[in-house]
A and B are shown apart, each in its own frame.
Chain A
Amino acid sequence: MEITPADLLRQIAGGDRGAFADLYDRFAARVLGLVRRVLVDPAQSEEVTQEVFLEVWQGASGFDSERGSASAWLFTLAHRRAVDRVRSSVAARGRDERIGIRDQEVAFDSVAEAAETRVEHTRVARALGKLSPPQRECLVLAYYAGFSHTEIAAHLSEPLGTIKSRIRDALIRLREELGVIP
């Protein structure tokens, strides 16, 4: 029977180092990819990715399969750590430059290596393409650049209330386009 990521997290919570190695082998490249999308800097991205997996080891008992999938738990943790780091002063350098890189990547990303990712990438890129350009910009700034909604409002010189509702509309629209049942 296939061992699911949720099984692995439960085994890790019980102190199983083999399960930890297995989870790492399955997810490390995707976690580093996400962290690096947010942070850009390769060295900091590796540092944060290592922190994320150490946190997985320490906090696996906090995973509750009733409250969501194992991959959502892991990627949420990774994204949160990357965002924490990018909002800290050290990583704030060259923020405009990073926004530029990110805008391009979303529009013209090169072909991903893993077929699985390529399919998901195409699916998400197509769904993002259905959003209005301002909605897409807000989602990209929030998720891939790690901006808070107040930072987005300041960056775009728009009222916070406008940004809040635009993020909400964008995420709901993306969910519809992806055909995800909430």
Chain B
Amino acid sequence: MTTHHDNDEELAAAAALNALDAASAAAATARRENDPAFDALVRGHEDTVLALAESVEPVEPPASMRANLLALIAETPQRPAPEAAPAIAEDPAQAEAPALPEATAPRRPRTPRVASGRRYLVGTLAVFAAAAIFVGGLVLGQIRSAPEANFDGTVASLLASADLERRSEPVSGGGAATVVWSPTTGQAAIAVDGLPALDAQRVYELWFIDGTGPASAGTFTATGTAGADWVLLDGTMKAGDVIAVTVEPADGDGTPTTDPILVVES
């Protein structure tokens, strides 16, 4: 006999209906990965929610959609199976994949999408792969426009970690980000590229989100120009944490007030 806290039942029902706000949804997704009992609660609603979906009247799409999609997939690379994803090495064939037309590119992904993020960060990713192996001045100097102050010794040693994990994502509102972390040390850093500059009253704020909620991991500003800027996250990342970025008042109180523009699941 298992019992569940009322809050878990409520969280599971809202998660099954996609009725959680973005930050809570990210936390719930992370929790499902690590808490089989909670995952079972959400999955217990699967058939009910599926019935809601399947009871809706179908709408025949125009024939052009089928033709568009068949043309698109012919040149769109697929993501490898999760367990088969290479930790460092990039497949050169995928890195050279053609960019998708903007109109059909996914807009607000909630799951890591290494493949589609790649087109924004091809140059940066190539440098990651190299930097992880050769932490030397020559290679580090190749990072596009990266101010030296941003690429300090801590980030360099993190990039050299043998167990380095990495996710690349487009950012809602423009730009792209790559998050790297070491599961062993719990250190994490983010490279942002092309994020819009904010007015003086607002900053970008980083968050570690776990089953209990968000914890601030520091703030940063962006110049609005192309080129990777590095920021080391404050605090230690735990297994299953979600990393998120929101736009917050510069004098914020350490709780998120807007929907994340980036959500990366570890």
Contacts and interface: CB of A to CB of B under 8 A. Distances in A.
A121 to B, nearest CB: 4
A46 B103 CA distance: 11
Q: What band does the interface of chain B fall in when counting residues whose beta carbon is under 8 Å from A?
A: 35 or more
B55 A124 contact: yes
B92 interface: no
B199 to A, nearest CB: 18
Contacts of A144: 52
Given A34-B56, A114-B58, A15 B50 contact: no
A24 B66 contact: yes
Given A29-B61, A54-B76, A112-B57, A165 B103 contact: no
B115 interface: yes
Interface in B126-149: none
Given A17-B74, A60-B78, 10 more contacts: A46-B62, A61-B80, A117-B55, A142-B17, A149-B19, A149-B21, A167-B14, A175-B45, A178-B48, A180-B48
Interface of B: 6, 9-10, 12-14, 16-21, 43-62, 65-66, 68-70, 72-74, 76-82, 84, 100, 103-108, 110-111, 113, 115-116, 259
Interface of A: 13, 15, 17, 20-21, 24-25, 28-30, 32-34, 36-37, 45-47, 49-51, 53-55, 57-62, 67-69, 71-72, 75-76, 78-81, 83-85, 87-88, 109-110, 112-114, 117, 120-121, 123-125, 127, 139, 142-144, 146-150, 152, 164-165, 167-168, 170-172, 174-175, 178, 180, 182
Closest 6 CB pairs of A and B: A182-B44, A29-B58, A124-B55, A75-B53, A142-B19, A61-B81
